[in-house]
Structure 1
Amino acid sequence: MFSVKSDVFSFGVLLLEIVSGKRNRGFSHRDHHHNLLGHAWMLYKEGRSLEFVGDYLGVSGYLSEVLRSIHVGLLCVQQCPEDRPSMSWVVFMLGNEVVLPQAKQPGFFTERDLFIAESSSGTNAPGSINQMTMTLMEAR
């Protein structure tokens, strides 16, 4: 069952995907194992949000709008649904020069580290592979 706040979360993910030019699903970075939301959050906390934009040389005339979009996207994906803005407030924040509240850690902020997960199991055996069998029914 979806709610208004989950729709806001989805919009925030979409906004961050558009700004970065990358998809959240399957995102990888050479310096860490965060997903796209984690990458945006990390750069935001370090004051380096502009690095989130793939080719930021072409957006030099729109830097404030791009930074505002990243900030609003992070506000939309905050972990607690109560902290997320309403869609009407999102539209207002994107279209007006208002002071934005500080973003909090996003929900579904994951760090994928497969090497540590495998070594912590205590065995060197490879993990199981899920297999799927399909049965096709044919009429006589």
Structure 2
Amino acid sequence: MGSSYAISCKNCDYTKSFKTGIGMMYSPHSLIDFEADAPLLPSLIRSKKSVDFIKALLADKGAVIADSYGHEIYRCPKCGEFYGRFFIHLDYDGGSFEVEYKCHKCKAALNPIEYDTTEADGWEGKRISLEKYPCPKCGKHSLYEGGEAYVLWD
């Protein structure tokens, strides 16, 4: 199960929607089944170079996928734009690997956004820490979460 978020600005018309988390079909096995009719990982990570590197780590280094993988929200530290990207972390003997994403506008390396942990009725959730970030369009600190919903997407 995943969540959907909308980030909007109170000062201008900036708004962007994101899905985070994973769908039910996103098991570690399905992620790395490159022989499937429609391999999953290449559809989630657009960089052929990154996918090929992951394949090599799995085959040559015995890499394993860490438990925390899924769709996440990233932000450019230079221009402030938000992006939805697939996060995956692999551990192998001698190191680890995470896909690095670049901003389409200014080519800077994207960073995952920060969340605050929330609790309601015994359920732990996360809230985007938007007060830390200025709007990518107008530059004001007036971003807000336009509603969070839980999503079943497969």
TM-score, shorter chain, exceeding 0.5: no
TM-score scaled by length of structure 2: 0.24
More strand by share: 2
TM-score, normalised via structure 1 length? 0.26
The structure whose Rg is larger is 1
The structure that is helix-richer by fraction is: 1
